[in-house]
Amino acid sequence: MSDINKKTTHTLNDLIAIARDGREFYEEAAQKVDDVDLKALFTRLAGVKAAISNELGGAVQAAGGTPEDSGTMAGNMRQMYAKLRAGLGDKEYGYVAELEESEDRLLKAFREAASDNDTPAAARDIVSRLLPEVQACHDVMRDRKLAMKRAA
């Protein structure tokens, strides 16, 4: 595998791991909250994260690599913290707040990969193409968090 393909694989696999964290976190949150609208939202966004991971995984395979099949330690810690936070207070708001932070993390990683001159063009192209979808998910969770904060 060429150095460019290795860098592409590494960059995309980092994004896959973070998106996988988000998918797993959304799936768990959908099981834990009582609000029907939040369950539906979390389920939908878990599907978006799965689609992003799958698309990035296809690009990793095309570059000759093996797609990441697990999340990150930071993602696991965030999920544990969210469970604790939800258990101590407003469960719905706790999950929304933590999921919004998870979206911040994914958006930041995508922006960095899209703007990093060391990111190979093939990786930058797919990241740039997926960035609006990542931004839209972030905005949905940010808006939901702010609306819940104002209503409290």
Distance CA 49, CA 17 (A): 10
Torsion of CA 6, 12, 13, 16, to 10 degrees: -170
Highest mean pLDDT among 16-25, 89-98, 129-138: 129-138
Alpha helices in 33-90 (DSSP H): 36-62, 73-88
pLDDT value, residue 7 = 78
Encoding tokens for residue 26?
């959304």
Distance CA 107, CA 85 (A): 23
pLDDT value, residue 73 = 57
**Cβ-defined contacts of 84-87 (< 8 Å, 24+):** 86/32
Q: Amino acid identity of 115?
A: S
Q: Domains in the chain and their CATH numbers?
A: 3-151 (1.20.1260.10)
Mean pLDDT of 50-69: 88
pLDDT value, residue 9 = 86
User: For the CA atoms of the chain, what is the radius of gyration?
Assistant: 16
Mean pLDDT of 87-103: 82
* pLDDT tier at 85, thresholds 50, 70, 90: low
* pLDDT tier at 117, thresholds 50, 70, 90: confident
Q: What angle do CA 58, 41, 28 make, to 5 degrees?
A: 75
* pLDDT tier at 56, thresholds 50, 70, 90: very high
